[in-house]
Structure 1
Amino acid sequence: MKRPHGDGGIDERGPNKWRLRYRVNGRRISVAFSGTKTEARSKLRSLLDAASKGEHVDPSKVTVGQWIDQWILAGAPGRKKKRVSQRTLERYEQLLMTHVEPVLGARPLQKLKAAEIDKLYMGMATAGEIAPRTQHHVHVVFGALLATATRKGLIVANPMFRVEQVPNPEERLSDDDPAEDADDDIGEGLDEAQLAALIAGFKPSSLFPVVALAAASGARRNELLALRWTDLDPDKKTLRIERAWEQTKKFGLRLKPPKTKRGLRTIELDDGTIKILLAERERYQRFQAGIPDGAADVDLSLIRLPARALMFPGAPETGVEFDVSVPRNPRNFSKEFARRAGLLGFGATRFHDLRGIHSTALLDGGIPVHIVAQRIGDDPAVLLRNYVKRKRTKAADASLSTAIGALAAGFLGS
């Protein structure tokens, strides 16, 4: 395809494969591009525009490290060309800068080979200090980085497609592998009696209402700490989950929508949990009105909490006035939970495990997977995969025995 000298040129190299030709300061440059003819024209125009503004960078000289910087700066766009959350972006940057950039950062992006990625993965696996799950996360993020480079025509073929050994997140190098607080982590399981003992042990603590609600709802920590009293409907016995806290280095603690679209949900609560929450709300209403605990003949329904009042606000620092809209620090909350759980003899149980315990109990009770997934705001496939990894509980064994007995009675005629 011939164009005027200053407009560059486009040569077809195969189905949706093109060579873009143009000049910068009299120097000829050729770039491989994958995409439609319209996309190739658009890419050529953007290259020429960058050259006219003095912002052009020769694609052949872009290093892996430079592309990491550019990709992170653009918000780590994926196939849907959407920016990820700030916390996720910071996690991506940490993974790439810690594990990829030191090894491959100086390598020209266009010359990167699958064998070099294999060597990177081999180094992580033999180091003995990086959890298999973290190795897999590096692979996923690095793959997304290279996929974007391919879509933009910076590389013709994605070397990730020829990698031989993809890190397996389920392999264990040792019993000391660090655990990740992720939704697909199996976590510690407790039976009904153990869970009751754990929750009862938190009753003297201000953490008790949060722990009880977590066990009764299966909600995530950052969803629970972002709940407002306006999210609770005691008459309908429902709770709306519409937001979550996000801990970022750049912006600190800030609100965002739940982790996924499935996270936007309304769930039903039992009478016992409603009672605990109403008692907690009453405590804040009394505080708001300056009414001491136990004062009689007080109509608390007349006392309105601020619209942004959190269910579980943070305690104020010394000398600072208490504000019901100021959140608890999620990480400090988890540390305090772990400390108290350890004192109660549940040192292996994390707050996040309450989510898995809740969903396991429902599944063991015969509730369909898609209903449980809707309740906890998760993907049914992910929920089912995690469920089969957990140790079988007594409730599951009892249900299995009952089902087998009924089946046998049917075909044996007994």
Structure 2
Amino acid sequence: MIHFPSKQPQVQTTIFTKMSQLALDEGALNLSQGFPGFDCSDELQELLKFYAKGHNQYAPMAGVPALRHSIADKTRAFYDIELDANTEVTVVSGATEALFAAIHCCVSTGDEVIMFDPSYDAYDPIVRLAGGIPVHIPLHAATGFRIDWEDLARAITPKTRAIMVNTPHNPTGSVWSMEDLDAFAEVVKGTNILIVSDEVYEHIVFDGAQHASVLLHPELRKRSFVCGSFGKTYHITGWKMGYCLAREYLTSEFRKLHQWVTFSSATPLQYALADYLKTPAHYLGLSDFYQKKRDLFASFFQDTRWKILPSHGSFFQCLDYSEISSEPDVDLAVRLTKELKVASIPVSVFYETPPNDRILRFCFAKNDDMLEEAAQRIAKL
């Protein structure tokens, strides 16, 4: 055996891989990993079939022009924001690659990057690989996982290079408001701090709310990399197709890094998405679609000792079981998978320093029959 020092000695197999594998081993209903339990539309599949003929060579590094223009057109229609498709839109192989490239193109050794816990588990290791120092600010269930802007202001130092944003939020389902954007802008105004904004659930916001993208605030937009994904929007997580929206001076640095990670993403997928994106109905109905699933799943816990935590966006429902058991959430997640045959994700794994909460995250992006069966099983606990 050849020995060498690990660049990430603290990193183990992700909780998503572990719980999905456990669900498979146990024959459990998998409400753990965040992927839809249904296929994409027939129309999108037909477009892919069409473009698989004659579009099978390398795409341009920044993405095929047709898709970049479709993304810019959609951004104009949805947000009333003008983007230059040539200099402010980059197509990537999934939002995680966009996060990786955005962080690595601007974070150097010793730079601090602030993130809010519970935070998606890719943020911390990506920052560390770039030589940066993750700074974790904990959010609390008791306050609806809202950000305390004074806490953020106190955490900023001369070494702060970037701040991670995630709305709608994975794993809690909290969302930002326009007031949050204003408060955030006041904190970063006059600094050289950059923003890496994970907005993959932008079209899954509930109860009549609107997605508060950092693109909508001029102070934030000028310093932001906005990372998006087609996977969550069109039920195609396996396609691994995403994009990054940023000002030209940021995009220039982003593309320098992106070209060494994935020079170009799958060509026929890009052409298919370029056409499909032209029809707003394909994403405008998504909030209502998933809100019905959220409400269906939550309805089974109304008269139980499970506490339903608010889910304002994404396709995740968090449930507090503190009145049921004092087991650590990792232990209970494993036990539910083995005994009740329902897999979930323990929220503590998203914290640097886990609180004493007892919360599990369930993905409701599944067929209704599966949601009903899973909910009935765990509601009896």
TM-score range normalised by the length of the shorter chain: under 0.3
Higher helix content, 1 or 2: 1
User: Highest CA radius of gyration, 1 or 2?
Assistant: 1
Higher strand content, 1 or 2: 2
- Which structure's relative contact order is higher, taking Cα pairs within 8 Å and 6+ residues apart? 2
- TM-score with structure 1 setting the length: 0.23
- TM-score with structure 2 setting the length: 0.24
